Amino acid sequence: MNKHAQAGSYAMAFMIAVCLIILGVAWASPVNEVTTLAMNESSEIGGMNCTDTTDDFLKAGCLVADIGQFYFIAGIIALGGLIIAARIIFR
């Protein structure tokens, strides 16, 4: 590969990584809102009522919904960071 193709490949990977990071940060608020609606029974969609439940399966569902939003957003941001790190390490 010549120098121009390498520079273009490097710039494109960096742009994709930055877009993934911005996408992860932009999705943080809507994902949090949807998760909150799913966990509250008072919402219009009729959520899981995570505040005062005694059912173990419902508690597990609430835990997965609560932790899942973090893993989803962190995964998108980490993927962008990994692309940047890979382009820096493997020149």
pLDDT given for residue 50 in this prediction = 82
Q: What is the pLDDT of residues 18-40, one digit of tens each?
A: 999 999 999 999 999 988 888 88
Confidence category of residue 44, pLDDT binned at 50, 70, 90 = low
Cβ-contact 40, 49 below 8 angstroms? yes
- What are 81-89's contacts with CB under 8 Å, separation 24+? 81/17, 81/21, 83/13, 83/14, 83/16, 83/17, 83/20, 84/13, 84/14, 84/17, 84/18, 86/13, 87/10, 87/13, 87/14, 87/17
pLDDT given for residue 45 in this prediction = 63
